[in-house]
Amino acid sequence: MIRALATTAGTAAVAARLLHDTRNWGATSGEAELSLPGDELVPDPFEQTTLATTVNAPAEVVWPWLVQIGRGRGGMYSYDWLENLIGLGTRSTGEIREEWQDLAPGDRVVVVPEGYGPMPAGSFFPVAQVLPGRALVLRQSCPEHPWNSVWSFHVLPHGSDRCRLLSRWRTHRPREHRLRIAIRAVEPVRLVMTRRMLRGIAAHAERGFAAGAPVPAEATSDDP
């Protein structure tokens, strides 16, 4: 009995450690602590994660892939096969489309289609901020969503012809205990899918850069 309890406790400790480590999957300690656009929308978060990957292509090559994310747009660049297994009908594009390059505050980035399963209204993130070539900030807030959260993406130069692609998630502490449990329950899935999303965007950008593909003019904007 004691041995079984010790084994269970050890397994739980390892699982907790793994979850803690993956909350800042791929990010340096400096990146995890970095103040980023969109953080101010959730100033005292109940939860924050920062995921990151290095892209062997400059920021202006990565941005066109990032800005066209969403259903009905470029897709999510994640595990399409897994999302389709549960009926989401996801398809990520392999090309940059001019009509998907314009994204402005107030637009919606749709993640889950309307009428899907337990979410009849679907799931979407209103665009809060767009800093061309640098940051895309998405926000879910009440009353449309049960908790206030920010999902932001950042492209940071990293040496010659390279950059870092970051994703940050910040959410307020929900009042209801069941919602706090829900946040914890879905966190591993969100981390894995987002990590694959960053790598998917990186792979597309790297292939295009290696092939010498032209960069859309919008991606090289010098707007602040």
E strand or H helix at 50: strand 47-55
Give pLDDT tens digits for 100-114. 999 999 999 988 766
More confident residue, 78 or 139: 139
Q: Which pLDDT belongs to residue 94? A: 87
Q: Which pLDDT belongs to residue 213? A: 65
3-state helix, strand, coil in the chain (%, to 5): 40, 25, 40
More confident residue, 78 or 105: 105
Domain annotation covers residue 8:
no
Two tokens at 223? Answer: 């707007």
Domain annotation covers residue 141:
yes
Contact indicator for 20, 191 with CB cutoff of 8 Å:
no
Domain annotation covers residue 5:
no
Domain annotation covers residue 89:
yes
Give pLDDT tens digits for 17-68. 445 456 899 999 999 999 999 999 999 888 899 999 999 999 999 999 999 9
Q: Which pLDDT belongs to residue 76? A: 86
Domain annotation covers residue 194:
yes
The maximal CA–CA distance of the chain, rounded, in angstroms, is 67
Print the domain residue range for 144: 25-220
b/e map 31-62, b = 16+ CB within 10 Å: bbeeebbbbebbeebbbbbbbbbebbbbbbbb
The number of folded domains in the chain is: 1
What is the rounded distance in angstroms from the CA atom of residue 171 to the CA atom of residue 110?
19
**CATH number of the domain that residue 126 is part of:** 3.30.530.20
Whole-prediction pTM value?
A: 0.78
Domain annotation covers residue 163:
yes
Domain annotation covers residue 40:
yes
Residues 6+ apart with CB under 8 A from 206: 55, 56, 57
**CA 150, 153, 156 angle in degrees (round to 5)?**
140
Domain annotation covers residue 18:
no
